[in-house]
Amino acid sequence: MKATRVSNQIYQLSINVEGILFEEMWEIPKGTTINSYIVKGEDIAIVDGFCGWDGLPESLFELIEGMDVELQDIKYLVINHMEPDHTGWIEAFKKIKPDFHIVCSQKAADMLKGFYNHTSQIRVVKEGDTLDLGKGKVLSFYEVPNVHWPDTMMTMDEETKTLFTCDLFGTFGQAKEANYDDNLTEEDYASYEEEGMRYYSNVMGTFASQVKRAVCKAKALEAKIIAPGHGLVWRNHPEKIIEAYERYVSYSPGPAKKEVMVLWGSMYGMTEKAVAHIIRQLERENIIVRNHRVPETSIGQVVTSALACSAVIIGVPTYEYKMFPPVASALEEIGKKRIVNRLAFSFGSYGWSGGAQKELREILERNKMSWDMIASVEFLGNPSDEDLDKIEQAVSEIIEQIKQLS
Ligand code: FEO
C-alpha cells in the first residue's frame, strides 16, 4: 500500500500482514494491517511506529516515498504502547537517526531499557499532557492502562480531532487499496464486525473492564477520526467502531447474540452422533449455530464464537478419566478470556469409566465462569435412543431461553 492522507498534515503508513499467527498464537484467516501515522507540524512525529516488529521493513521506504519526509526528519516517536509489533524497529531506526526523542507513558519508559537498551531522550507524558509540534499541530495524551498492556495511552491531534487509539478499536482483516471506512458496503461492515470481535476476544478479552473504561474515555473525546494500530481508520463513521466495541465488551459478561456454539471433539464418532442430532434440532428451530470441532478449529475461532454466543453446548468424550484434551484446553482459554455467564449443556461418550463431566465442572469453577449448566448427559459408547431423548430435552430448553433474549 501507499502512504495516504488521513487529514490535514496527517498521513497513514500501513502494511497488510497475512500467513502469520498474530502474537504467534492467533489465527488471522483474513490477515490484518499494522498502521502507523506521520503528523507534520514544524516538527514531525510518528505515532505507533514503523509497521513491524522485525527492524525497519523494506516497505517503509516505499511508503514514505513521495511524502516529502525523510526518515532523518522525524523528531518524535510517540509510543502508545510497547508491544513489539509497534516498537520492534527502534534499534534499527537509531542507526539512521540517533538523536530522536521518544514520547511515552512512564510504564513504557520503564520497559524501554529491557526491550531495546534505550535510556536517553525519553519524554514521559501523563493524562492531559501536550506536545506542540508547531504550525498548529498539538498532540495530547490520554492514559488507557491495560488495553491490553499496562503502559497504553491514546494520542489526539487536537486540530483535526484525530484520535490515535493504539490497539483499542483495532480489527483484523486486510485493507484493500486504502485503509479507510470511506466506502464500506453492508457486507464489508458485517465482515469487520466479525473481525473486530475476533480481535477484541483474542487480544483484549481478558481486560474487558479496562477496555470498557477506555471506550467510554474515547467516546467522551468526541474524535472525528479514529486511527487505530490495526485495521481500518474510521473517518466516515467513527461512531460505528465505538458502537461495535461497546457491543463486544457487553458480550464478555453476557448475554451476547442469539446464537449457540456447539464445541465438541470426538475420537471414534460416538460423541459425534449426538452432535449431528443436536445440530439438526437447532437448525430446525432456525437458531444460528457456530459448530466447532476441536482440535480442527483454531482456539482463536473458538474464543471468538464463545464471545458471540449466549449459549454453549459442549460435546466431550472421556479420555483417560478426564476430558478429551482439545475440548479442555479450548474451555480453559475461554475462561482466561473472562467469557462468563453462558447458558450451557454438556454431553459425551465414555468407555470403561466416565470423568469428562467432572473435569468440565472443575474448569468452570476454577475460572469462575458462572456458566448455567442446565444438564449433563454421559453415555457408554454410542448414545442410545433414551440418551438422545435426554439430550433433545436439554437442547429444547436452551432453544427456548435463547429465543427469549431481546
Ligand atoms: Fe498491536 Fe498490543 O500491539
Give tens-digit pLDDT for 6-30: 999 999 998 898 999 999 999 999 9
Find out whether the beta carbon of 228 lies less than 6 Å from any atom of ligand 1.
no
Distances (CA, A) of 183 to 74, 117, 186, 214, 279: 32, 43, 10, 27, 37
Least confident stretch, 54-68, 146-160, 298-312:
54-68
- Of the listed ranges 46-55, 263-272, 282-291, 334-343, the least confidently predicted one is 46-55
Measured from the Cα of 152, ligand 1's closest atom is: 2
**Contact by Cβ (8 Å): 350, 379:** yes
CB of 167 closer than 6 A to ligand 1? Answer: yes
Provide the 3-class DSSP secondary structure of residue 395. helix
pLDDT at 172 over 80: yes
Q: Is the CB–ligand 1 distance for residue 86 below 6 Å?
A: yes
Look at residue 165 and tell me whether its pLDDT is greater than 80: yes
User: Is the per-residue pLDDT at 76 higher than 90?
Assistant: yes
Q: Strand ranges (DSSP E) for 105-221?
A: 122-124, 130-134, 137-143, 153-157, 162-166
Percent of the chain residues past pLDDT 70, beyond the cut: 98
Residue 402 pLDDT level (bands cut at 50, 70, 90): very high
Nearest CA to ligand 1 atom 1: 167
Q: What is the pLDDT of residue 52?
A: 65
Cell of 365: 469453577
Question: Residue 200: what pLDDT?
Answer: 98
Q: Give the distance between the most distant pair of CA atoms in the chain.
A: 78
Residue 183 or 109, more confident? 109
The pLDDT tens digits of the residues spanning 345-361 come to 999 999 999 999 999 99
Please identify, by atom number, the ligand 1 atom nearest to the C-alpha of residue 203.
2
CB of 229 shorter than 6 A to ligand 1? yes
- Tell me the per-residue pLDDT of 265-313, one tens digit each, with 9 for 90 and over: 999 999 999 999 999 999 999 999 999 999 999 999 999 999 999 999 9
Taking the centre of ligand 1 as the mean of its atom positions, its distance from the CA of residue 169, in whole angstroms, is: 11
**Atom of ligand 1 at shortest distance to CA of 34?**
1
Strand-pairing partners, residue 139, are 131, 157
Residue 62 has pLDDT above 80, yes or no: no
Cα distance between residue 75 and residue 44, in whole Å: 6
Half-sphere exposure of 185 toward its Cβ, with a 13 Å CA cutoff?
2
What is the pLDDT, as a whole number, of residue 83?
Answer: 95
Question: What's residue 53's pLDDT?
Answer: 66
CB of 199 sitting under 6 A from ligand 1 = no
CA angle 17, 23, 26 (to 5 degrees): 80
What's the mean per-residue pLDDT of the chain? 95
Task: Indicate if the pLDDT at residue 41 is higher than 90.
Answer: yes
